[in-house]
Amino acid sequence: MLSKLFTHRSTVLATALTTCLSAGVVQAQVDSVHFLIPGGAGGGWDSTARGTGEALQKSGLVDTVSYENLSGGGGGKAIAHLIEVADQSEDTLMVNSTPIVIRSLSKVFPQSFRDLTPVAATIGDFGAFVVKADSQYTSFNDLADAYLDNPRSVTVVGGSARGSMDHLVAAQAFKAAGGDPRMVKYLAYDAGGKAMAGLLSGEADVLSTGFSEALALADAGEVRILAMTGPERSKAAPDVPTLKELGYDATFVNWRGFFGAPGMADAKRDEFIAVLEKMYGTEDWARVRDRNGWAEDFRPGDEFVAFLEQQEKEVGELMRELGFLR
Amino acid sequence: MWDGILTGLGTAVMPFNLLMVVVGCFAGTFIGMLPGLGPISAVALMIPITYGLDPASGIILMAGVYYGAVFGGSTSSILVNAPGCASTVVTAFDGFPLAQKNQAGKALALAAYSSFTGGTIGALILLFAAPALASVSLSFQSGDYFALMLLGLTAVAAFSGKGQVIKALLMTVFGLMIATVGTDITSGATRFTFGSVDLIDGVSFLLLAMATFALTEVIMTVLRGQHREAEPEMDMAALGSMKLSREEVKEVAPTIGRSSVFGFLVGVLPGAGATIASFMAYGLERNLASAKEKLKFGKGSLRGLAAPESANNAASTGSFVPLLTLGIPGSGTTAIMLGALIAYGIQPGPRLFMDNPDVFWSVIISMYFGNLVLLILNLPLIPYISRLLAIPRPILIPLILFFSITGVYLVSFNTFDIQMMVLITVIAIFLKLLAFPMAPMLLGFILGGILEKNLARALTMSDGSFSFLWDRPLTLVITLIAVAVLLFPLLGTVLGKLRGKGPEAAVAEGEG
């Protein structure tokens, strides 16, 4: 078993070696991709990179795929590493998601997406508001009214720290309802599952979490989803209304996507984009996607950059209002 | 329900699934034995393999690897004082002293029996009470966890030797302080990171345990070796008898029984887990021991070994309750297993045992087989495994260093962790030379983080009022137990002194 781990490391080395040797040679197609994962095994970033790699390799779009986990600093360690070894990293794709925007705003790490080459966002999830099956709140409007009446009467629970995603999504929604976002009574847990246990124990009224996670929980019958933050209803759950249609102007997408090293050549970036776009049509991708319950949300190249800038602006304003930024 | 159990039994005894149990247990035991490589690494390694299997087989394999790793982790704790995983840190407290007294065989055998009993009792409770226990695990709110962690902290006395109370308390506070490093999820602020990206996620328990036990122990051995060359070297190859005498069985049987049930209940709580269960079971056992037996704890007490070993295995089994019946993972390992279940298109939850009875019941029944397999697999191997100690020190010591450091590195893949391990080891050696005990620091660290988060949540809920401590009967009861455990020995001393029986009372006080 251990030897397996070492093989994994030696693949990394071997890939690094080939990368060095082939540098300078013009490549007609993508021979190899090296995924840099800013977190440990088993997390969301890990499954995104390994799932994408699996689809790319099995469908024959890419010959060799290798992975490298490097956790630390909420992803900051991997960003710094990618910048440091940028010269030798032209085949490297780092997986990341919305937290890169939030954490760079809150100065968890000094870099931002601008220090990297955004390649493409590939999948997206939305925020969702979940209550216990026997909750007194039957619609998000009820919840918003209660919040407007007395913000401290609504307890929100989430699986991330105060000032990060789950908290911000809730603050954004209550702000759109006309409430004071700073008054949100938020109980922070360190994982979504534990936050769910908090909701079910009765200590909170509503859980702010990811939509796909919420769908899985609602299937079990213990909870109901009041609303989600997508621009329109999801095909996976057409019964769940969006905040927008309920009259609250708030949308939020938690994207996952890939970044290249700084200074990546445009041609190289376009190759990656082309290969990722091709991947969507393959059966191997469909299998990986369905296995993980992912929703496709493709934003390549400049569209991705524009989207990141927009999200940075929106989230930044909210965080400033909440007092997390000066 | 009986139909389901029969379906599950049918699935579990299919030759392929039995093979999966054996393979899982074997792989898990082996990975678990390597210092630092624990169940989370072991289960994560299995993910790619399970994709090719059908759901029941895949989960049976993962479960086998999981409790196999918890089982195997005790081996390196006992033999070389290098905990195989977080939940076997406590095993080293009394297991290693036993091995030093040339009783390694007995210690390993007792660990195997305790693990087996803990796992089996856990599997039996799981079989008959899983759905009912789910509601118990859900009744715990932040305030209750806070009170429970307070109770856990009262166990600090159990981790201090005689006359070391002040030092033990200081080290507990030190552990509580280390727990505050990193991002405070309640405020979102980072604390004591000194601007370093690497400290944002805080210090990992495994890293701290490996540095203060495995590395410190090894380096102390080297240091001692230089000064006292003449000291007769312990006959490392001597296994000692593996047999427990009738008196010893009588002594540990009640311990194993209590610790199994207690460990299982703690494991059921999504906010606690196997490591906390092992610490609390050890503390509980010492509080129950007579004044004379108390002195043996930390110096090779059989009860001190049996308690955490039964509790951690029972707790690992218990953690399947919230996972299978609610879809809530209580630990990193069960979170990975949840991911695997969902990848199979199986949503764990209250309906799992109706929708997928083959998966639900076969996993539980396979745990029973698994524990049997582990016992059969491990008992005959003990003489061979303990030959490990016969390896000459110049080879053994670098090996332990290598595996300890690699084990921690393979969790995060961050070289900073290795630097931090070295720094902590240096500090730990100084503290150890000054006779400060390390165990209370680990206790303070592991309970401190959970204690603080739950206190913060409870205070947020009650708008800053401490009334949560008595608003709910459950919280009140746990708090009162904690206060009683804390004050009872003190009260005994005071009463004893009032009656003028000073000297005897001092013995009974138990550093409480």
Could you tell me the fold of the domain covering A2-125+253-321?
A: D-Maltodextrin-Binding Protein; domain 2 (3.40.190)
State the pLDDT confidence band at B160, using cuts at 50, 70 and 90: low
Residue B48 has pLDDT above 90, yes or no: no
pLDDT category of residue B452 using cuts at 50, 70 and 90: very high
Q: Domain ranges for chain B, please list them.
A: 2-230+242-498
Q: What is the pLDDT of residue B239?
A: 62
Q: B332-343 vs B39-50: helix axis angle to the nearest 10?
A: 10
Band (pLDDT 50/70/90 cuts) for residue A139 is very high
pLDDT score for B351:
74
Cβ pair A186:B460 closer than 8 A: yes
Most B CBs within 10 A among A12, A85, A187, hence the mutation to make, goes to A187
Residue B453 with chain A: CB contacts under 8 Å: 188-190
Confidence (pLDDT) at B158? 64
Secondary structure element (H or E) that encloses residue B123, with its range: helix B104-138
Residues B354 and B362: beta-carbon distance below 8 Å: no
- pTM, two decimals, is 0.82
Alpha helices in chain A (DSSP H): 2-22, 44-58, 76-84, 99-105, 140-149, 165-176, 192-200, 211-219, 266-279, 283-292, 301-322
Q: Which of B141, B186, B271 minimises the CB distance to A188?
A: B186
pLDDT > 90 in chain B, percent? 24
- Tell me the shortest Cα–Cα distance from A178 to chain B, in angstroms: 23
Provide the residue ranges of all domains of chain A, joining segments of one domain with +: 2-125+253-321, 126-228
The pLDDT of residue A252 is 93
Q: Do A203 and B27 touch (CB under 8 A)?
A: no
Averaged pLDDT for residues B130-136: 78
B471: tokens are 């608003």
Q: ipTM more than 0.90?
A: no
Most confident option among A42-51, A142-151, B393-402: A142-151
Superfamily the domain A126-228 falls into: Periplasmic binding protein-like II (3.40.190.10)
Q: Quick one: what percent of chain B has pLDDT higher than 70?
A: 92
**In Å, how far is B182's CA from the nearest CA of chain A?**
9
At residue A21 the predicted structure's pLDDT band, cuts being 50, 70 and 90, is very low
Whether the predicted pLDDT of A28 surpasses 70: no
Please write down the long-range contacts of B387-390, taking CB distance under 8 Å and 24 or more positions apart: B387/B237, B388/B79, B388/B80, B389/B79, B389/B80, B389/B99, B389/B104, B389/B236, B389/B237, B390/B236, B390/B237
Distance from CA of B85 to the nearest CA of A (A): 15
**Which of A162, A215, A284 is the best residue to mutate to test the B interface, defined by the most B CB atoms within 10 Å of its own CB?**
A162
Q: Flag whether pLDDT at A14 surpasses 50.
A: no
Residue A27 pLDDT > 50, yes or no?
no
A55, pLDDT greater than 80 = yes
What CA dihedral angle connects B158, B159, B164 and B167, to 10 degrees? -130
Residue-wise over B138-174: b if at least 16 C-beta within 10 A, else e? bebbbbbbbbbbbbbbbbbbbbbbeebbebbebbbeb
For B186-205, how does the pLDDT look when each residue is reduced to its tens digit (9 = 90+)?
Answer: 888 889 988 888 888 888 88
Q: Give the bridge partners for A260, in sequence order.
A: A117
Chain A residue numbers with beta carbons less than 8 Å from the beta carbon of B339 are 42, 47
Distance of alpha carbon A75 from alpha carbon A92, whole angstroms: 16
Owner of token pair 């040339």: B102
- pLDDT bin (cut points 50, 70, 90) of residue B500 is low
The lowest-confidence range among A173-182, A200-209, B386-395, B471-480 is B386-395
Q: How far apart are CA A216 and CA B332, in angstroms?
A: 19
Number of residues that make up chain A? 326
**Predicted confidence (pLDDT) at residue B130 exceeds the cutoff of 80:** no
Q: What are phi and psi of A141, to 5 degrees?
A: -60, -40
Most confident stretch, B108-122, B277-291, B364-378: B108-122
Mean pLDDT of B108-136: 88
The pLDDT of residue B12 is 84
> Which H/E stretch holds residue A295?
strand A295-300
B270, closest residue in chain A (CA to CA)? A194
**Beta carbons of B141 and A221 less than 8 Å apart:** no
Chain B residues in contact with A204 by the CB 8 A cut-off are: 461
Which residue of chain A is at minimal alpha-carbon distance from B199? Answer: A73
Instruction: Tokens 């195989």: give the residue.
Output: B84
Q: For residue range A88-104, what is the model confidence (pLDDT) as tens digits?
A: 898 999 999 999 999 99
